Amino acid sequence: MSDTTLKATAAGSGASATERFLTDKTDVSGPRADTARVNTLATEVITTVHDVIRRHQVTYEEYNALKSWLISVGQDGEWPLFLDVWIEHVLEEVATATRKGSKGTIEGPYYVPSAPTLPSVSVLPMRDTEAGTPLLFQGQVTGVDGEPLAGALLEMWQADDDGLYAQFAPGIPEWNLRGGVVTDDEGRFAVTTIQPAPYQIPTDGSCGRLIAAAGWHAWRPAHIHLKVSAPGHQPLTTQLYFKDGAHIQDDVASAVKPELVLDPRPNATGVAEVTYDFVLAPVS
């Protein structure tokens, strides 16, 4: 393991994810949630907890352990990690149930907006000595009517060969393996990157303690994150995985869908190559 890997702690990643969320996604100027809706959702969540306590005869020792753990999740800054790993996949499923076009999945806690803009044929920013298997990722962005979407934006981000993300682990250049690729006049793109590695979510904090106590594993399969957007169309957030990759069948975040699995093959130069097209639904 590299020095960088050893220093990438759950607390550090959690604090960064929390800071990003509060900076980029908390809008106090927007409309307040409907009181009746809050009443319904909060009451049902609390009632469900009551039901679990009664059905399983939860003890005070277990209750106090939960209380201590909930406090530590906040202190560790791991609420974004906990929610994105164990809750978000169901929210995404509900939110996109009727949307036409390509399948999406969870965003996760490591998205950073305003990555460097790149042309349709480009190399994702990386170190000169970036480890990993080179990958040519190409395709086309269209609408559901089949019309190419020129100037569509593909925001891409991924972990490196150590399973670490730039801006969430020390010692990695700021925009490493992050970029915003703009499609050409036919909606096409071709990006050279590396095939990412599977990785464990941070386990030295509160989420790791839950995983250990429950006897779960902490692994996510290798994946590339994308946000695909174009004027007049609904944005798509997704992750693309790799056929036969480790933990495809038991992703800790339950985010894998069959439609999101890539199968790269060597091209004439021996580089792994894969084509994957995106279809965006119109704004309703």
- DSSP symbols for 251-284: -TT----GGGEE--EE-TTS-EEEE--EEEPBP-
Closest CA to 207 of 79, 90, 110, 108: 79
pLDDT at 266: 96
**Is the whole model's pTM more than 0.85, yes or no?**
yes
Closest CA to 16 of 157, 158, 111, 116: 111
SS3 of residue 34 by DSSP: coil
Domain CATH code at residue 42: 2.60.130.10
pLDDT at 32: 72
CA distance 148 to 146: 6
Q: How many domains does the chain have?
A: 1
Q: Which domain holds residue 126?
A: 1-284
Q: Which residues of 202-240 are buried (b: 16+ CB within 10 A; e: fewer)?
A: beebbbbbbbeeeeeebbbbbbbbbbbbbeebbebbbbb
Half-sphere CA count of 96, side-chain side, radius 13 A: 20
CB 166 within 8 A of CB 172: yes
Kindly list the averaged pLDDT for each block of 10 residues, start to end, along the chain of length 284.
45 63 61 86 97 98 97 93 94 95 95 96 97 97 98 98 93 97 98 95 92 96 98 98 96 97 96 98 93
Q: Are strands 265-266 and 199-200 parallel, antiparallel or unpaired?
A: unpaired
Q: Are strands 236-242 and 261-262 parallel, antiparallel or unpaired?
A: parallel
CA distance 196 to 225: 11
Closest CA to 159 of 117, 189, 131: 131
